[in-house]
Structure 1
Amino acid sequence: MTDTPETLCHALLDAARKAGADAADAMAAEGSSLSIEVRDGALEHAERSEGVDIGLRVFVGKRQAQVSSSDTRAETIQAMAERAVAMAKEAPEDPFAGLADPHQLAQGWDLAAFEMADPTAEPAPDALQQDALAAEAACAAIDGITQVQSAAAGYGRHDIHLAASNGFSGGYARTSRSISCVGIAGTGTGMERDHDGDSRSFQADLRAAEEIGRTAGLRAIERIGARRPKTGSYPVLFDERISSSLIGHLLSAANGAAIARGSSWLKDSLGQQVLPETLSVIEDPFRPRMPGSRPFDGEGLATRRRAIIENGVLTGWVMDLASARKLGLESTANAARGIGSVPSPSNWNIALTQGDKSRADLLRDMGTGLLVTSMIGSTINPNTGDYSRGAAGFWVENGEITHPVNEVTIAGNLLEMLKKIIPGNDARTYLSRVVPSLLVEGMTLAGE
């Protein structure tokens, strides 16, 4: 009988006990993925992977070690456990390391309510290729497109299980289905590119390949003739495509590991106003069909819905067990981990309160400034929140888009920027991060 992720986890725990571990947890993931790329109407690249990965974390007193492998033979599992215990005995003591107490563990979840795995059959390679070809053709058909750089479709399924010597054992399956396309417009030094894509847990929710290709093409031709704007101080509208990055910076600063290190520009902001009082940031790990949904975290604790920011006020940190212990607090069940890594704090599904204005309303209100649709690079000072990023998008005069813009750097301070953001009402509610377009007044633009 073939070993399942669950049986592999318990075999790892048994081996850890025999090797002398005081406590241990184990993860196993069995998965497959298929990706298809096309170019000029023909198949360019096809890749399929299947495999099982296993990971073991052991504790010897307050010392811990982590090992992983893709070999699931019994002798390998035994060797992994012995090696991990030997490593842990040589590791420095960590007073905050350790498993959850049994009373902290998740119990009795309804996995079906999460709808994490599409029950329909895996798509055939030909079906993925047809989607990629349809996206490519739709992009190429846009007048002004000189080349479709890439068009791809993919599918993946992973069955994951986590078990620990404190009594926890749980697992789930996830599926993903995706289509993407990148179009190039113009020629020579005037070439511009843009993209579109979609990724869903369920095939039935995926946007049409033709729509994705057409959108990629239209976005690319809109960028032809881009030039640098004048240096100065202007309002900046972060398009919904990239606005979640601002909230991402905020959440990174609220990460318990960063707070415990003292390297966060939010470290003194608990209970303070960090967003306008009309805005909240809600974390919800229970949304069906979302990649950020899960019944338990990477340490077996029950996830929960909460307001990380409520009416503009920062209510708490994002913590796993170790960071919570360092801060003298309780874990918020935000531990994420890979097969070969120890847990660390991360966020699940996030939503920012939407406003009552459309993107067109925000453009009108901003008058003259920059609409940002793509960003490159990132320089964020973790201690001060000083912010600087390369950007491209469109110049706005008197509330109207006049021409595309590139090679501009936008700068400010996140503490000041976030307190005065004005949200639109255009967030895509089917994403894991639901964040609308955001208008920020008075940012510094470095252009010509």
Structure 2
Amino acid sequence: MTRTPEEISQALLDAARKVGAEAADAIVIEGSSVSVEVRGGALEHAERSEGTDLGLRVLLGKRQAIVSSSDSRPDTLTSMAERAVAMAREAPEDPFAGLAATDQLAGDWDADALELFDASPEPSAEALMQDALTAEAEAMAVEGVTQVSDAAAGYGIHRVHLAATNGFSGGYARTSRSVSCVAISGTGTSMERDYDGDSRTFQSDLRGAAEIGRTAGERATQLVGARQPATGSFPVLFDERISSSLIGHLVAAANGAAIARGASWLKDRLGEQVLPEHLSLIEDPHRPRIAGSRPFDAEGLPTRRRAIVENGVLTGWTLDLSSARKLEMTSTGNAARSVSAPPSPSNWNLGLTQGDKSRADLLRDMGTGLLVTSMIGSTINPNTGDYSRGASGFWVENGEITHPVNECTIAGNLRDMLKRILPANDARTYLSRVVPSLLIEGMTLAGN
């Protein structure tokens, strides 16, 4: 008889108690996914996967151990519990390990209000292939596109359930639907590539495959004739497609695990200005139909809307229970985990205050500089905030795009860079990270 994720998680807890666990939590993820890739107008690869993954964490005092499996048979659950308890007996003590107190647990949540699950019928492999073929054909129809290296479509559905001996038990289901395309222009050493794609919770929200393919093709052809820019100090405009990476560096530095290790350039900046004073960075895990939404975290604590940065000032760290205990603070309900690892702090949906100018306005205002649309590689010093990344995009003269550029490096220090950002108003509000194009004056640019 097939058991639900909730039934499996409770069976794991029962097994753990029987073999001597003092406390335990269990996470069960059940799901299926199908993906299709095409090339040259024909199917190249199709894959379907189905399975159930289980994770059990047991605690003996301050000693903990985690085991995982993809087998949910009763004898396997018993074996998992026995192995976990045996491992915990040999594990070193962790003074910060432990489940949440009962009064910390999430209570009345409404997973349906988050609209994480699309009840529409699962698309057939044929429908996914047609989306991929449409994207490929539209990209190839763009003059100057010489090939499409990848056109794909996919669908997934996953159910997760978390249960613990402190009394918590909760779960929800999540769906996703995606289409992507990578187009190449030029030939030989002059080839350039670019992409477009979309992923949504609800299939009806997905952008059309034809639009995605056409945009990928147009972006690739715009890069033909790219050359290295000049070396010097110039304003750099981070296109909306990649600007969220800058905010990603900020939230990584505000992660409680990094702070507890002392390995963060923000470690002494709590309560200080880290962004321009008119900007705030808001985390909101309750946005409907958004991939980063969830009613509770991986330790059963309620998720909530909070300001990570308010009016430019860093207001707090991103914490799970362990990092909060290390820092003598309170968890922010940001624990995430896989079936094979303990909880760790992670961010949910993020939104940066948008500006009142368009990207075109910022291009005009920047005069001469670089519009970055793609970045490769990364050298970020987590302790100092020193920043260096390979970049490509377009050169701007007198506020107008003149030609594509590649093979250059942009550098600076995140402490200074983030306090000088000027946002546009072009962020896509359906993304998990809503960050507009960002202009930064006076960055170091290394080209020819």
Provide TM-score, normalisation by structure 1. Answer: 1.00
RMSD of aligned alpha carbons: 0.5
Residue aligning to 2:401: 401
Residue aligning to 1:161: 161
Q: What secondary structure, in the 3-state scheme, does the structure 1 residue paired with 2:388 have?
A: strand
Residue 363 of structure 1 deviates from its aligned partner by: 0.5
Residue 231 of structure 1 deviates from its aligned partner by: 1.0
User: Could you tell me how far apart the structure 1 residues matched to 2:193 and 2:110 are?
Assistant: 44
Tell whether 2:238 aligns with 1:238: yes
Identity of aligned residues (%): 76
User: Could you tell me how far apart the structure 1 residues matched to 2:367 and 2:276 are?
Assistant: 21
Residue aligning to 1:203: 203
Residue 171 of structure 1 deviates from its aligned partner by: 0.2
Cα deviation, 1:244-285, whole Å, max 9, x if unaligned, reads 000000000000000000010000110000000000000000
User: Could you tell me how far apart the structure 2 residues matched to 1:434 and 1:356 are?
Assistant: 15
Cα deviation, 1:88-138, whole Å, max 9, x if unaligned, reads 111110000000000000011111100001011100111001100100000
Residue aligning to 1:53: 53
User: Could you tell me how far apart the structure 2 residues matched to 1:12 and 1:408 are?
Assistant: 53
Residue 14 of structure 1 deviates from its aligned partner by: 0.5
How many residue pairs are counted as aligned between the two chains? Answer: 448
User: Could you tell me how far apart the structure 2 residues matched to 1:133 and 1:31 are?
Assistant: 26
Residue aligning to 1:334: 334
Which amino acid in 2 is paired with 1:270?
Answer: L
Residue aligning to 1:71: 71
Cα deviation, 1:308-327, whole Å, max 9, x if unaligned, reads 10000000000000000000
Residue 243 of structure 1 deviates from its aligned partner by: 0.1
Correspondence 1:341-380 to 2 at 5 A: 341-380=341-380
Residue 295 of structure 1 deviates from its aligned partner by: 0.5
User: Could you tell me how far apart the structure 2 residues matched to 1:338 and 1:53 are?
Assistant: 9
Correspondence 1:184-199 to 2 at 5 A: 184-199=184-199
Cα deviation, 1:31-56, whole Å, max 9, x if unaligned, reads 00000001111111000000011010
Tell whether 2:297 aligns with 1:297: yes
Q: What secondary structure, in the 3-state scheme, does the structure 1 residue paired with 2:7 have?
A: helix
Residue aligning to 2:122: 122
Residue 19 of structure 1 deviates from its aligned partner by: 1.1
Residue aligning to 1:447: 447
> After TM superposition, which residue ranges in structure 1, 4 or more long, deviate above 4 angstroms?
none
Which amino acid in 1 is paired with 2:339?
Answer: I
Which amino acid in 1 is paired with 2:304?
Answer: R
Which amino acid in 2 is paired with 1:285?
Answer: P
Which amino acid in 2 is paired with 1:288?
Answer: P
Cα deviation, 1:131-166, whole Å, max 9, x if unaligned, reads 001000000000000001110000000010000000
Residue aligning to 1:175: 175
User: Could you tell me how far apart the structure 2 residues matched to 1:52 and 1:365 are?
Assistant: 53
Q: What secondary structure, in the 3-state scheme, does the structure 1 residue paired with 2:269 have?
A: coil
Residue aligning to 2:83: 83
Tell whether 2:340 aligns with 1:306: no
User: Could you tell me how far apart the structure 1 residues matched to 2:420 and 2:194 are?
Assistant: 30
Q: What secondary structure, in the 3-state scheme, does the structure 1 residue paired with 2:176 have?
A: strand
Residue aligning to 2:229: 229
Which amino acid in 2 is paired with 1:344?
Answer: S
Which amino acid in 1 is paired with 2:189?
Answer: T
Consecutive unaligned residues of structure 2, counting only runs of 5 or more, are: none
User: Could you tell me how far apart the structure 2 residues matched to 1:333 and 1:110 are?
Assistant: 16
Residue 193 of structure 1 deviates from its aligned partner by: 0.5
Residue 331 of structure 1 deviates from its aligned partner by: 0.1
Residue aligning to 1:108: 108
Correspondence 1:257-276 to 2 at 5 A: 257-276=257-276
User: Could you tell me how far apart the structure 2 residues matched to 1:152 and 1:242 are?
Assistant: 21
Which amino acid in 2 is paired with 1:429?
Answer: T
User: Could you tell me how far apart the structure 2 residues matched to 1:229 and 1:92 are?
Assistant: 54
Residue aligning to 2:384: 384
Q: What secondary structure, in the 3-state scheme, does the structure 1 residue paired with 2:428 have?
A: coil
User: Could you tell me how far apart the structure 1 residues matched to 2:164 and 2:60 are?
Assistant: 14
User: Could you tell me how far apart the structure 2 residues matched to 1:76 and 1:442 are?
Assistant: 60
Consecutive unaligned residues of structure 1, counting only runs of 5 or more, are: none
User: Could you tell me how far apart the structure 1 residues matched to 2:36 and 2:356 are?
Assistant: 41
User: Could you tell me how far apart the structure 1 residues matched to 2:324 and 2:142 are?
Assistant: 53
